[in-house]
Structure 1
């Protein structure tokens, strides 16, 4: 893989930024693609742009605002409350988001001569989102290859990691401080440790606390 090009589906959050560092370590050239789908806050896109510039990788934004015309969810509508579950799914679930994002990322990858797609989905800490599961990614990989007559490979470095493990990976990659200070995971658009109250912040900050506790225990031993 060291001699090949990869495209990272990039939001500027903890997971995708960790994947970006992983990609930089494993591929000769890395490009990022970010999606404007009518998020609650544009800060996410600007955060992604700044990170890409700082790390010296290409950055492209694709307009996916059509999603906002088709579904109502808490990530694109500020009049819908952010809740952990609603009729079995979190109110932050955007139907079809990862399916569409990866499909368009594949078209972009093909255009720039890449067959590797990287996404930060995780079945371990998937927050109830069905399109973060391994079965979905495997199925979509086959579908993309058949639809475009290509041999794409979708890489999911975080698939079997919980949030503490993701922090550990970023530390292994020498990026823990960077990810902690410069990413935006918060549903309310607050960078770094965020608002501390939304589900994304709680998952992120609890994972960091667990990893630091584990690391300290290891140092003591």
Structure 2
């Protein structure tokens, strides 16, 4: 049964946010998506987000956050910064303040369109150590948003405790498995679907897919 509420999904067009979009479409009667332009390496990410929203009939907002690129140069926005993941250090793909700013602006948008629910695809279970993906931060930000606008928003994080294999499983339960597999863009090198196969995002996605397939095959047997 759907909640008779309106929701905004923070949407990148990747595996996680697309799974969250399908989840929101099952949970809420009205769903809109917001994508942030912050100087990503590949314009393909923005195009992918638009295309997915068009396919699903979801109203799509795009907000300019290019100032973030000026303040926090990183491997997601600069071709001259290598994508690295060194043990004990935050990956070079970490963008300081990204989720703080994205969800704050999503909250402002939600306020304007009469939505009380915000959905984001962050996860503690299978992430790269990003501090702004933690459950504690999300709960804290939820309180801050409500205090800042004297409102009652609810931030939903349906993937918070799911690893990539479980995210694939959730997309399957939502009848979105093939859609997510084919139409999303997770790859740091801008390749849709299965991606380049070499970057950390592709490796994590593929490993999760293989683990889910093994689990599903075991259940069938």
Q: TM-score range by the shorter chain?
A: over 0.9
Residues 3-18 of structure 1 aligned to structure 2 (within 5 Å): 3-18=4-19
Report deviation, 1:128: 1.1
Is this contact kept in 2: 1:73–1:92, CA < 8 A?
Answer: yes
Q: Which residue of structure 2 lines up, in the alignment, with residue 29 of structure 1?
A: 30
Find the residue that maps to 1:92 and give its secondary structure: coil
Q: Which residue of structure 2 lines up, in the alignment, with residue 121 of structure 1?
A: 122
TM-score (norm 1): 0.98
Is this contact kept in 2: 1:47–1:184, CA < 8 A?
Answer: yes
Q: Which residue of structure 1 lines up, in the alignment, with residue 61 of structure 2?
A: 60
TM-score (norm 2): 0.98
Corresponding residue pairs, total: 220
Distance (whole Å) between structure 1 residues aligned to residue 26 and residue 151 of structure 2: 24
Gapped regions of structure 2 (runs ≥ 5): none
Distance (whole Å) between structure 1 residues aligned to residue 131 and residue 191 of structure 2: 26
Report deviation, 1:157: 0.3
Residues 96-111 of structure 1 aligned to structure 2 (within 5 Å): 96-111=97-112
Q: Deviations over 1:82-138 (max 9, x none)?
A: 011387110000000000000000000010000100000000012111100000000
Distance (whole Å) between structure 1 residues aligned to residue 178 and residue 109 of structure 2: 31
Q: Which residue of structure 2 lines up, in the alignment, with residue 204 of structure 1?
A: 205
Q: Which stretch of the first structure deviates more once superposed, 164-173 or 119-128?
A: 119-128
Find the residue that maps to 1:110 and give its secondary structure: helix
**Root-mean-square deviation (Å):** 0.9
